[in-house]
Amino acid sequence: MFTSLNIATSGMRAAQTGLAVTGHNMANAEILGFSRQRTIQNDTRLRTMGTSGAGNILRVGTGVDNNAVHQIRSQYFDMRFRMHNSALNFQAMVSSIGSHMEDILGETENSFRLQHLMQDVWRSMQELSLNIGGIESRDIFVSSAAAFLDKAQNIFEELFELQQNLDSQIRNMVTEINDIVGNIHRLNEQIQSNEVAGDNANDMRDERNLLMDKLSALVPAEFFEDPRTGHINIFTQEGNFLLAQGSQNMLGLKEISGRYNFVEPVFTMSDTVLPAGTPPREYVQFFNWTRPINAANGNEQGALMALIMARGAMPATYAGADALWRPTALPNGVAFGSIDALVEAMIGPMPDPANFAGGATNPEYRHAQLVWQNDRNNVEQLYPEMLTNPAMVLTSVAAGRGNPMFNRMHDSFLAANRTYNQNAWSMENALVPNMMKNMDSIVNSVVRLINDAVAPVENHTHDPNAPFDLNGNRSYTEVFVRTGLGNSVMPRFVNDIHNGGLPGDFDSLYTTRNLKINPALLQPGGHNLLALSRSGDREDSSVIEEMLALWVDDESPYSINIRGNTFAMDRAYQIFITDFAVRVNEADTGVSAQFQALSQADQRRNALMGVSLDEETSNMMTLQFAYQAAARLFNIIDSMIDTVVNRM
What percent of the chain clears pLDDT 70, i.e. is strictly above it? 75
Helices then strands (H, E): number in the chain?
Answer: 15, 19
Contact 572, 442 (CB under 8 A): yes
Q: Are 492 and 460 in contact (CB under 8 A)?
A: no
pLDDT value for 181: 96
Does 359 score more than 90 pLDDT?
no
- Per DSSP, 20 falls in state H
| Cβ-contact 87, 219 below 8 angstroms | no
Distances (CA, A) of 455 to 543, 559, 646: 11, 19, 126
Could you give the maximum distance between any two Cα atoms of the chain, in Å? 142
Q: How confident is the model at residue 337 (pLDDT cuts 50, 70, 90)?
A: very low
* CB contact at 8 A, 315 and 436: yes
Task: Write the CA distances from 16 to 69, 270, 470, integer angstroms.
Answer: 13, 53, 103
Rounded to the nearest 5°, which phi and psi values hold at 248?
Answer: -95, 130
Q: Is the four-CA dihedral 463, 464, 470, 473 of positive or negative sign?
A: positive
Which stretches of 197-240 are DSSP H helices?
202-218
Q: What is the signed CA dihedral for 454, 458, 463, 466, rounded to 10 degrees?
A: -30
Q: pLDDT band at 345, cuts 50/70/90? A: low
List CB contacts of 623: < 8 A, sequence separation 6 or more.
Answer: 15, 18, 19, 22
pLDDT for 14-24, tens place per residue? 777 777 777 77
Give residue 399's pLDDT: 46
Residues 6+ apart with CB under 8 A from 194: 200, 201, 204
Checking phi first, is residue 229 left (phi over 0); if not, alpha (psi -120 to 50) or beta? alpha
**Which of 308, 274, 280 has its CA nearest to residue 293?**
308
pLDDT of residue 361: 72
Which segment, 114-118, 377-381, 585-589, is predicted with the most confidence on average? 585-589
Give per-residue pLDDT as tens, 270-284: 889 998 777 777 888
Question: Could you say which DSSP state residue 335 is in?
Answer: B
Per-residue pLDDT at 2 exceeds 90: no
Closest CA to 482 of 105, 163, 149, 160: 149
Sequence-ordered alpha helix ranges (H) in 481-612: 519-522, 542-551, 569-609
Average pLDDT of the residues in 296-311 = 90
What's residue 409's pLDDT?
54
Per-residue model confidence (pLDDT) at position 256: 83
The confidence band for 392, taking pLDDT boundaries of 50, 70 and 90, is low
Top-confidence residue, 585 or 460: 585
Burial 401-424 (b: 16+ CB within 10 A, else e): eebeebebbbbbbebbbeebeebb
Summarize the confidence of residues 168-190 as an average pLDDT.
96
> What is the phi/psi pair of residue 247, to 5°?
-125, 130
What 8-state DSSP symbol labels residue 220?
-
Q: Among 185-194, 488-497, 532-541, name the one with the lowest average pLDDT.
A: 488-497
* Rounded CA separation 188/201 (Å): 10
- pLDDT tens profile 88-111: 999 999 999 999 999 998 865 555
559-580: per-residue pLDDT in tens?
A: 999 988 999 999 999 999 999 9
Helix axes 431-454, 114-130, angle to 10 degrees: 10
Pairing of strands 241-244, 247-248: antiparallel
Over residues 129-148, the pLDDT tens digits come to: 999 988 999 999 999 999 99
| Range in 150-154, 290-294, 313-317, 381-385 the model is least confident about | 381-385
* Predicted pLDDT at 350: 74
DSSP 352: P
Per the rule left: phi > 0, alpha: psi between -120 and 50, beta: everything else, 337 is left
Q: Is the pLDDT of residue 342 over 90?
A: no
- 464-469, Cβ contacts within 8 angstroms, sequence gap of 24 or more: 466/531, 467/531, 467/532, 467/533, 467/534, 467/543, 468/531, 468/533, 468/534, 468/535, 468/536, 469/528, 469/529, 469/530, 469/531, 469/532, 469/533
Query: Could you read off the pLDDT of 247-262 as tens digits, one per residue?
Result: 999 999 998 876 678 8
The larger pLDDT score, comparing residue 199 to residue 421, is at 199
How confident is residue 128, by pLDDT bands cut at 50, 70 and 90?
Answer: very high
Instruction: Please indicate whether residue 463 or residue 453 has the higher confidence score (pLDDT).
Output: 453
